[in-house]
Amino acid sequence: MTSTHQFVKQLEAHVHERLAGLDLLKEPEIGAVDRLEIVRRLKMALKNELEASEIAAVWIPTTPEIEVKLALARQVGDEAKHYKLIEDHLTKMGADLAGFNPSADGYGPMFQLLAGFKTTVERIGAAQFTRESLALKKNEQFIEFCEAAGDRATAKLYRESIQPDEEWHVRLGRTVLEKYATTPELQAQARSAVEAVLDLAVKVQNKQFKEMKVSHAPGC
């Protein structure tokens, strides 16, 4: 059997390789950007943050490992904090959030996929290890978008207040998989969950790019 350290190292390399492909699905040049376009993407971020907080909360009661349970609780708070930071930032930008409900259209496909996982290695492999790596990638793209558009305040918010938490979430994913993906069966579960998230991420990115004309959208 592959050692847990080697397993996680190989899985991480695979995730990074797949996520690097998302750079091919970007607008080639950003150019002039209307403030409303940044507002639109930040509203998408509110939905992502809310769902990230909620799925972690949903998992807490059925997670047997105490340290993982507590880590999920921290993530609930992190994502809720991000939501509030973005909401406050939108208000400062003059955006009208009256009547805006990011949950109005129901849960997105990523939440629905994550909600189906039952074991800790599946959940952590899918969410913290992979989706949060995706969030780091998407946020990097969004920071690039904001800087090119001249919106340094939004870029700073993401770089200094949101990305450090996302990095911690990814480290949590690595730590948990190294500790608990201890059998070929558990490693197979984690690998399958990771692949499912990566496949969905590519589909969602393609849909946003083709139908919504959005590529540099923030993650969670």
DSSP string, 125-191: IIIIIIIHHHHHHHHHHHHHHHHHTT-HHHHHIIIIIIHHHHHHHHHHHHHHHHHH--SHHHHHHHH
Residue pointed to by tokens 């949590």? 172
Which residue in this structure is represented by tokens 């349970």? Answer: 69
Spell out the domains of the chain, with CATH numbers in brackets: 4-21+34-95+107-212 (1.20.1260.10)
Identify the H or E element spanning 34.
Answer: none
The model's pLDDT over 26-48, given as tens digits with 9 standing for 90+, comes to 666 666 677 888 999 999 999 99
> pLDDT for 183-202, tens place per residue?
999 999 999 999 999 999 88
Q: Tell me, what's the pLDDT at 164?
A: 97
Evaluate whether 58 touches 123 at the Cβ level (below 8 Å).
Answer: no
The C-alpha atoms of residue 127 and residue 204 are separated, in whole angstroms, by 16
Q: Are 190 and 177 spatial neighbours (Cβ–Cβ below 8 Å)?
A: yes
What tokens were used for 139?
A: 């946020």
Mean pLDDT, the chain, rounded, equals 91
96-117 pLDDT, tens digit per residue, is: 998 899 999 999 999 999 999 9
pLDDT of residue 214: 64
Specify whether the CB–CB gap between 206 and 123 falls below 8 A: no
Q: Is the pLDDT of residue 20 over 90?
A: no
**Rounded to an integer, what distance in angstroms lies between the CA atom of residue 120 and that of residue 181?**
9
Reported as a pLDDT band with limits 50, 70 and 90, residue 152 is very high
Are the C-beta atoms of 114 and 55 separated by less than 8 Å?
Answer: yes
* Closest to 35 in 3D by CA, of 94, 101, 102: 94
H or E element in which residue 114 lies: helix 109-115
